[in-house]
Amino acid sequence: MTESVKLTIPSDPKYLSLARKIVYHLLINHDVSKEIIPRLVLCVDEACSNIIKYGYNGCRDQPIEMTFSLAEDFFEVKIRDYGKQCDSRDIKPRPIHEVKPGGLGTYFINEIMDEVNYCTNREKGTLLTMCKNLKGELASARREIG
Amino acid sequence: MIMDIQSNQSDNGVATLMIEGEIDMNTCAQVQTHLMDLFNNNSKVIIVDLSKVSYIDSFGIATLVEGLQWSHNNNTKFRLTSLTPAVKDVFNIANLQTVFEIFDSPEDALKGL
């Protein structure tokens, strides 16, 4: 069975902490191992931060709509914004050997998530879908392996 | 409290920045301002104590990278200490463990100066 939770926050950075806490509790309640949870939380945070910075250009009163879906071994996050669209081919993580500020958020998302898709096939904004296979990442599975 | 910052500067040019809480897009500007003040005060060594940082994202990392770059330009030593497991994990993903001078404690960071 897949469980879904929806969350909408304004595009104000002060709400990022709230979104992180909700994702954390969702995953903890789903028995996801504590090793992987902070990484999944980081991906949601990075995606929202990028929307605020690039999609909404810092504007703080625009909606960021999130849907978190959890199945037994699967975590999917859909994040919808109505800001400036960008060509997904332009969304490039910075080369990891370059030590400079910026571009790291996309790198984190690509490193941690199994699937990442930016869909701009709509009148306004972007739908970002990120998926993580949780097989082997549930705390109970880890206890069995251990 | 999302984040609290305390800084102190000793007479011998060693400044310590103690950050408590979460460093993200919302709070990184405060870290940047404190770091800028320490560089402007001609600190010779800046030690950033991360022992009470429960979360850091790419904006927090970018702020520390900026501090590192300022330190190169100002001939200042810029050292990080006491990374929590959560912070260490983000540094590992970003492959930054060897880019910064990282120490287990502020005392260790003062050794060999």
Q: DSSP characters for chain B? A: --EEEEEEE-TTSEEEEEEEEEESTTTHHHHHHHHHHHHHTT-SEEEEEEEEEEEE-HHHHHHHHHHHHHHHHHT-EEEEE---HHHHHHHHHTT-TTTSEEESSHHHHHTT-
Identity of residue A18 = L
Residue A96 has pLDDT above 80, yes or no: no
Question: Which residues of chain B make contact with A53, given a CB cutoff of 8 A?
Answer: 25
Number of domains in chain A: 1
CA distance B53 to B13: 24
What CA–CA distance (Å, rounded) separates B101 from B110?
12
Number of domains observed in the structure of chain B: 1
* DSSP H helices in A16-138: 16-29, 37-50, 104-112
**Residues B59, A49: C-beta atoms closer than 8 Å:** yes
Contact A6, A64 (CB under 8 A): no
Q: Is A122 helix (H, G, I), strand (E, B) or coil?
A: coil
CB contacts < 8 A, A to B, total 61
Here the ipTM equals 0.94
> What CATH number should be reported for the domain holding residue A70?
3.30.565.10
Contacts (Cβ under 8 Å, ≥6 apart) of B27: B2, B3, B21, B60
The answer to whether B48 touches B32, Cβ cutoff 8 Å, is no
Q: How far apart are CA A78 and CA A68, in angstroms?
A: 7
Of A81-90, A99-108, A135-144, highest mean pLDDT? A81-90
The pLDDT score that the predictor gives to residue B2 is 83
Select the residue of B25, B86, B94 nearest A104 (Cβ to Cβ). B94
Q: Where does the pLDDT of residue A94 fall: very low under 50, low under 70, confident under 90, or very high at 90 and above?
A: low
Answer whether A39 sits within 8 Å of B25, measured CB to CB: no
What is the pLDDT at residue A129?
98
Q: Which residues of chain A neighbour B22 with C-beta distances below 8 Å?
A: 17, 20
Q: How far apart are CA A85 and CA B14, in angstroms?
A: 46
Kindly report the nearest CA distance between residue B2 and chain A, in angstroms: 8
Question: What is the span of the domain harbouring residue A127?
Answer: 3-145
A-chain CB neighbours of B2 within 8 Å are 14, 17
**Using 50, 70 and 90 to split pLDDT, how confident is the model at A86?**
confident
Q: Chain A closest CA to B113's CA: distance in Å?
A: 25
What band does A146 get if pLDDT is binned at 50, 70 and 90? low
pLDDT at residue number B78:
97
Q: What is the pLDDT of residue B72?
A: 93
Closest by CA to B26, choosing from A28, A122, A52, is A52
Task: Give the domain range for residue B10.
Answer: 3-110
By the 8 A CB rule, do B89 and A108 touch?
no
pLDDT of residue A141: 67
Are the Cβ atoms of B62 and A104 closer than 8 angstroms? yes
State which amino acid sits at residue A121.
N
Distance CA B80, CA B44 (A): 14
pLDDT of residue B113: 80
pLDDT of the residue at B44: 94
Residues of chain A with pLDDT > 90, as a percent, come to: 72
- Per residue in A24-75, pLDDT (tens digit) is 999 999 999 999 999 999 999 999 999 999 999 999 999 999 999 999 899 9
- Residue A144 pLDDT greater than 80, yes or no: no
- Could you give the count of Cα atoms lying within 13 Å of A96 in the half-sphere of its Cβ? 13
Measured between CA atoms, how close is B70 to chain A, in angstroms?
Answer: 12
Share of residues in chain B with pLDDT > 90 (%): 88
pLDDT for B41 beyond 70: yes
What's residue B105's pLDDT?
97
Tell me how close the Cα of B34 comes to any Cα of chain A, in angstroms: 18
